[in-house]
Structure 1
């Protein structure tokens, strides 16, 4: 059988760099080595692109993926030719955060005319920016919690006015979030004015735009979406926390979070959540994969929190586990995503770019 040539891209100039290494290790180990010829490109914390040797066996330690020497190739050469000289059937960006899931690298793939796994430029960028995402959700009538958003420059010029605006529109607790990061990086739960100011200062270290959201007593449930024009969804899963706030440390360091799959909710609520996940997918023109996150209150009110265009994707992350519950293994999911990338690429080839 002729192997398909796939390039895994990971690392990145992002606060979520370490998460990306773990994701790359997990995906590489799960890929069918008889079906795929696997190359790797590592992007350092400083943004340098380094191409690694072909991968033929499992990665025992994610640190071995942290490359340090350049082979002198240009970025376009790295992406256009595999280590054996073949054109890639698809590249698989396993990059979290800015410069990875925000549409920028997707734009590079588009310019170089390379099939790639996951969402396109518009979907990636709008799903990455929490404010733009919320505005698009509103056009679909998806229910959301109240929020306030502002720029770093506005806060520096009018600190007290913005604090008053937040406290006038929202009630404590509130959540302060960088608009363009995931994995709970830079997010703070604030219960008073002093904590709010500290949370804003913390979040502004990671982004120039912040979103402050109303806190709510609710369960956190998530739905996985897979597909292009006709997406499919999973049953919802629930994030069960042993901590008050599901932050980066509790996610990736302390293991203070458990996943209940499927979530213990009524069939009617399951259906509503799955329908809303499709609406959110369409609102941001997504393709490939998305995880839609919701709040479910005691009185069964549903609020959409966000969509994640490059959700956590290790073997033990919510997105793959939701599909495993539906009967789709991690390896099968990876294969499906590669096939969806090729499908979307081929569909775009049928679009006319000039008049006859």
Structure 2
């Protein structure tokens, strides 16, 4: 059976989330017979094996990490956010000529950049929220009509994201976002149901979408932002499959597949929409989404009859098959 190196952790704010994804994936692969080795990237960038640092610095620890990568037949980088999901680990594996689960450098980098993703979406006819890009050095001069959503351009798990309902709190929201990135996105608030679609590219190259999932946040008083707290405190509810019409399902599925192809994704990606009366509006794309058994993507594929262990195995087999036809 194939030797798989699962990498977790990372240097982004999603470090703990990535640890959970990596642990779940490693366990699932072992249960199905894969030979699994695990490495963790600490917040300071040092690589660790079995709790032991592979070097005194990030650079020195890379030697041991590269030895582990060389031993592997495929690498599963369950690292979310910058210096992981953004294509950094995919690029490292490409340089080492070892297959990697998920998207290559180009798709990871563009998908991580919310502003670039908006430009791609609009180029292929997918609506996005009206927005504005702001640099960290310019946040003191920003004026924007509320309500508005403020978010870092490159961050995940809604870290640094705020819903601003009055101008008085705009600067606080901008400063919070600037803690996670030097580029900040301000977007108009889109009123619609939050619908996620997971897309998988199989070993044969065919890609397909699982039944959509709906996210429920807030209460009887009204909807709430699906922020970091809601994602991990258990307050959010999910409906899988989403209770939407056949027409709406066709619309979000087609848009998700179009984004997957436009970005050049591989492996699995989660494409998030707001479903409005006028159709779907793209929120963002995750090229290495949360991969615990209870995360949104495994929930969607479970609804399609593909269990967690089978999903992890399919991702590994797809990466191995892609060796003959690498994607840039």
Match of 2:280 among 273, 296, 302: 302
Q: Say what the alpha-carbon RMSD is for the aligned residues.
A: 1.9
TM-score of the two chains, using structure 2 as the length reference: 0.92
Counterpart residue number, 2:34: 36
Query: Which runs of 4 or more aligned residues in structure 1 lie more than 6 Å from their structure 2 counterparts after TM superposition?
Result: none
Q: Are the aligned partners of 2:30 and 2:36 in contact in 1 as well (CA < 8 Å)? A: no
- Hey, what's the Cα distance between the residues in 1 that align with 2:190 and 2:32? 48
Q: Pairwise mapping of residues 237-276 of structure 1 onto structure 2 (< 5 A)?
A: 237-242=213-218, 244-252=224-232, 254-276=233-255
Counterpart residue number, 2:189: 215
- Hey, what's the Cα distance between the residues in 2 that align with 1:322 and 1:70? 37
Deviation string, structure 1 residues 279-332 (Cα, Å, up to 9, x no partner): 1101111111110111012x2522111111111111001101100000000000
Deviation string, structure 1 residues 199-219 (Cα, Å, up to 9, x no partner): 001100110001111112211
- Hey, what's the Cα distance between the residues in 2 that align with 1:304 and 1:139? 13
Which protein is bigger by CA-based radius of gyration? 1
Q: Are the aligned partners of 1:32 and 1:331 in contact in 2 as well (CA < 8 Å)? A: no
- Hey, what's the Cα distance between the residues in 1 that align with 2:31 and 2:236? 32
- List alignment gaps of at least 5 residues for structure 2: none
Match of 1:324 among 302, 306, 319: 302
CA-CA distance at 1:81 after TM superposition: 4.2
Counterpart residue number, 1:124: 108
Match of 1:194 among 157, 161, 168: 168
- Hey, what's the Cα distance between the residues in 2 that align with 1:248 and 1:138? 27
Deviation string, structure 1 residues 128-183 (Cα, Å, up to 9, x no partner): 0001111111110111110111111233xxx23x21xx22xxxx321100000010
CA-CA distance at 1:70 after TM superposition: 3.2
CA separation of 1:76 and 1:148: change in aligned 2, threshold 3 A: same
Q: Are the aligned partners of 1:76 and 1:112 in contact in 2 as well (CA < 8 Å)? A: no
CA-CA distance at 1:94 after TM superposition: 0.8
- Hey, what's the Cα distance between the residues in 1 that align with 2:15 and 2:68? 25
- Specify the SS of the correspondent of 2:30: coil
Counterpart residue number, 2:12: 14
TM-score of the two chains, using structure 1 as the length reference: 0.85
Equivalenced residue count is 319
Q: Is the aligned partner of 1:231 residue 2:218?
A: no
